[in-house]
Amino acid sequence: MAQTFNITDDEVGKKVIAADGDEIGLVTEVRHGTAYVDADPSLTDKLMSKLGWEHTDDDAYPLQKSEIETITDDEIRLRRM
């Protein structure tokens, strides 16, 4: 059974780390329980596509709870895809 996460304003400022250990961005905002990630400029289109992220005007992408493996005090680590 997958763990469910309660995403709060406490997540703002946390690094978002891919399953392979690469840092892919930073949580810049939480809206209605969804973390929005400002993607690292070096993030490839392939990874963005894999996460289902499309370009938005503010360059912050919604992070689906189903993509999250763990949340610590410092980071959000994503599941292996």
Q: What are the pLDDT tens digits along the chain (81 aa)?
A: 557 789 999 999 999 999 999 888 899 899 999 999 988 656 555 566 566 666 554 678 899 999 999 999 999 999 987
Separation between Cα atoms, residue 35 and residue 60, nearest integer Å: 9
The per-residue pLDDT for 33 is 93
Taking the model in full, what pTM does it have? 0.77
The per-residue pLDDT for 50 is 66
The per-residue pLDDT for 19 is 92
**What are the DSSP calls for the chain, one per residue?**
-PPP----GGGTT-EEE-TTS-EEEEEEEEETTEEEEEE-TT--HHHHHHTT----TT-EEEE-GGGEEEE-SSEEEEPP-
Within 10 angstroms of residue 71's Cβ, the number of other Cβ atoms is 19
- Return the CATH architecture of domain 9-78: Roll (2.30)
